[in-house]
Structure 1
């Protein structure tokens, strides 16, 4: 059965939420508390402000700011004016951000100066608007522009970990259909209180966070910077029920949760190529979550697979679930995961060559991830094509090795990379954040008892922390 949604665009969804949920809280951000009716009114007035600034249907605006109530109003206001959202990673330096603003042909750049002690500049000729201080938001006459399901909603640039970021183009209809289904799979409910730790410049925060919450009538609590003490405080004070995030979020909760009332937590959602079985076990047995959804997604297609409510523990722990409705999966001869379906991007912005390389003539998106399907059609991610290394002729997958090492009681976090070796070509090196006493020799000996010799790291380097992107992924290019 195909998921159908009653809205043709994200602006229509926001207007509908005002009717459906009215005086219920839509956004809680510090002292700012907006009902769904107030949010819709602010959005309409911000759409008018964009129109007065010369932003019309199809025009692009870049948003380079942290999670906040203002980000939400600005993004939905832009879309309501018929504009196209270009989110920018808040960790980017000026040169990186300017490249995206210029290539995205943004007519304006919205920032929040002072965030992380920085002043955010724009490239020459692009007006810069401060979300917090310039009085822009809500300053226009109420406006609504007709927007259709096939109109472009956003251009989200990939993280750039595998080269220059590419702009992924997605429509309103694609987003609404996919994240309506996401709400069902995640068991998001009307009245839920959803702490959005994931950055809004990423689809996990923006689409599985903001859009999903407006679909279902959940209250969004934006978090600008991840701080585990602040998370614990908000969960307790605001009775947070939904807390998705990268595996590192749950590591932090497990280490720091003692003495806090976390009993309101009901839904956890995570997913990545390197989520270990042991972490899934601990989330479901040591924290109060009653539903854990694991999934697999990428900017180029959104959420592609997800576990299902009622899936057996072993399946949730070892796979990222089955394809979402309207998606097909295929495993290529080299184990690369191929994806086809309505959610696959419209293409990379102004880059037909890269688009043709990513999406073949039959419509299959080549993800760059390596995987396998179990007998029930569930996907297991075994690593990234670019991360795999070859030890004496054998393929070694870091994600698999990391999963083994995380079973050791003294290992809190781990990242494995391939390093050159004169005899074997490459061997594994593990970077470990310990939670207890363990030596390099002890950990290597422990690993030898549990995995094939070629998989065992030859070197272990202990760290107090691993370098992470703003979305919680380990930056392996900074490990060697």
Structure 2
């Protein structure tokens, strides 16, 4: 299958495409010199200045002994320093390991341990949470250096503040750093993005430089991103949507990165008008909030040009309202998952509202979508089955987990997504269900097995199953279905409070239902469909 065509215009293309993220950065510094690469709180970073800033980080990492292929983690919210640090990691030939900012200490420590990260660049405090203090008692011995990202202050739980870290780079020459960056190739790993699955343990998805640049170069062309576009990035940088479809896409197109750390509909609304935002991806709820804003008619949103969204159900009227009431010329939807680099299919922005709202579009160039049965055979046209993907964008595998890799990618190279859907007559993908019972809370993927593994540690719980239930504000939230140990007592508020201390907020169930026994099938597996019926989900 091929990507949707777009109307001819002034599209920003590379010929040839840079082979690595460092190569892209150096080329963009020349190509877009004089344009703003990043703007944050009045600080403007020119494209021409990115290499020097990234090479500072690269030199310091090399001075700490980081070799090509080593893992370096970043645990911080969206900000200018995140982008510069990540580019420095890439220039060092290291593999970037982004960590979810909502994770608790034990969750972050598990990622650091299993990725074998040697250096962590971390935020000091965010949303009232002290990251170094939270991690300190749980820090794995494999982590050799904890660096306070962007901050000049001594702090318990860190080894180096930012000035001390940068000073380490004096031992490595600029030429050495440039040679290291030049040695990074298209097949070298660029990142490990941790996702979760039915095993309940997050898995590190291995992606390479070349496949990432190739996929999101297509994304740039389809949405028509141009030099000078101003891209407000709300989606978190630890996720492919904020990282690859976000700031990395800006480097491909010469757009300006405007990081946004915490989603707040009112703040976003104000920033669009005040900072002349032209590109605003986000969930449907973002645009609904804007359309319902009491000052919509009095606010100048004329700069807004591109919107990218996605959800299993989007009313076509929303697409029409985004086009006509918000004045967005380019509105589209896309589908992807971490295991395929974050992008698999995308709609042509010229398609009717019904297609954009009701489907996730067609496969990007040089990739295939196949709808397959439980016997791993293609189903008939129009029939539903598991969505499987094959092509250059499919991950290189799960880090240090060949068994899970073999389960996800079959012998013919098909990535089994665990999502259910079908293709229409024009090859547009329609997603209808989730085979793996994943649900999405406020834009964050939640995997029941992972949450269940955390809840079962409560001393009063004998058995637990987690399902997603509809929620007006968040889209979906978790509901924990609990069987108590004999003689034990526990109420819903106590369990929710207990969970909040131990897992990221979006994973914490908002509802708890108590059962004498959970419904099971002949294989003694919990029948979650019956649980959904029982709780009215």
The reply to whether residue 354 of structure 1 matches residue 435 of structure 2 is: no
Residues of 2 paired with 1:38 and 1:349: CA distance?
34
Structure showing greater relative contact order (alpha-carbon pairs closer than 8 Å, 6 or more residues apart) = 2
Residues of 2 paired with 1:14 and 1:429: CA distance?
43
Higher mean displacement: 270-279 or 46-55: 270-279
Change (3 A) 1:27 1:138: farther
Match of 1:342 in 2: 392
Residues of 2 paired with 1:73 and 1:200: CA distance?
12
Match of 2:351 in 1: 311
Instruction: Tell whether the 8 Å contact from 1:59 to 1:106 is kept in structure 2 after alignment.
Output: yes
Q: How does 1:145-160 map to 2 (within 5 A)?
A: 145=180, 146-158=183-195
What SS class does the counterpart of residue 370 from structure 1 fall into? strand
Match of 1:129 in 2: 147
Instruction: Tell whether the 8 Å contact from 2:316 to 2:353 is kept in structure 1 after alignment.
Output: no
Residues of 2 paired with 1:9 and 1:263: CA distance?
35
The reply to whether residue 295 of structure 1 matches residue 295 of structure 2 is: no
Change (3 A) 1:474 1:282: farther
Change (3 A) 1:428 1:228: closer
Change (3 A) 1:160 1:87: farther
Residues of 1 paired with 2:126 and 2:237: CA distance?
15
1:23 to 7, 31, 34: 34
Change (3 A) 1:159 1:237: farther
Instruction: Tell whether the 8 Å contact from 2:19 to 2:210 is kept in structure 1 after alignment.
Output: yes
1:61 to 60, 72, 81: 72
Match of 1:236 in 2: 273
Residues of 2 paired with 1:255 and 1:385: CA distance?
34
Residues of 1 paired with 2:468 and 2:37: CA distance?
47
Instruction: Tell whether the 8 Å contact from 2:71 to 2:95 is kept in structure 1 after alignment.
Output: yes
Residues of 1 paired with 2:49 and 2:36: CA distance?
9
Match of 1:323 in 2: 363
Change (3 A) 1:50 1:379: same
Residues of 1 paired with 2:363 and 2:508: CA distance?
28
Residues of 1 paired with 2:95 and 2:109: CA distance?
17
Instruction: Tell whether the 8 Å contact from 1:274 to 1:383 is kept in structure 2 after alignment.
Output: no
Residues of 1 paired with 2:261 and 2:420: CA distance?
32
Match of 1:167 in 2: 204
Match of 1:48 in 2: 59
Per-residue deviation, residues 283-327 of structure 1 (Å, max 9, x unmatched): 233312110110001000020000013222221121110000011
Instruction: Give the superposition deviation at 1:237.
Output: 1.6
What SS class does the counterpart of residue 130 from structure 2 fall into? coil
Residues of 2 paired with 1:161 and 1:209: CA distance?
28
Instruction: Tell whether the 8 Å contact from 1:68 to 1:222 is kept in structure 2 after alignment.
Output: yes
Match of 2:428 in 1: 378
Residues of 2 paired with 1:19 and 1:295: CA distance?
31
Residues of 1 paired with 2:69 and 2:393: CA distance?
20
Instruction: Tell whether the 8 Å contact from 2:308 to 2:332 is kept in structure 1 after alignment.
Output: yes
Per-residue deviation, residues 9-35 of structure 1 (Å, max 9, x unmatched): 100100111100112100001132100
Instruction: Give the superposition deviation at 1:280.
Output: 2.8
Residues of 1 paired with 2:71 and 2:506: CA distance?
31
Instruction: Tell whether the 8 Å contact from 1:42 to 1:138 is kept in structure 2 after alignment.
Output: no
Instruction: Tell whether the 8 Å contact from 1:178 to 1:303 is kept in structure 2 after alignment.
Output: yes
TM-score when normalising by structure 1: 0.80
Higher mean displacement: 64-73 or 264-273: 264-273
Aligned length: 408
Q: How does 1:58-457 map to 2 (within 5 A)?
A: 58-121=69-132, 122=135, 123-125=139-141, 126=143, 127-133=145-151, 134-136=161-163, 139=167, 140=169, 141-142=173-174, 143-144=177-178, 145=180, 146-158=183-195, 163-256=200-293, 258=296, 259-301=298-340, 302-333=342-373, 335-387=385-437, 430-433=470-473
Change (3 A) 1:356 1:66: same
Instruction: Tell whether the 8 Å contact from 2:279 to 2:306 is kept in structure 1 after alignment.
Output: yes
Give the unaligned 5+ runs of structure 1.
Answer: 389-397, 400-416, 418-426, 435-472
Residues of 1 paired with 2:419 and 2:329: CA distance?
30
Residues of 1 paired with 2:116 and 2:363: CA distance?
34
Instruction: Give the superposition deviation at 1:49.
Output: 1.1
Instruction: Tell whether the 8 Å contact from 1:44 to 1:138 is kept in structure 2 after alignment.
Output: no
Instruction: Give the superposition deviation at 1:252.
Output: 2.4
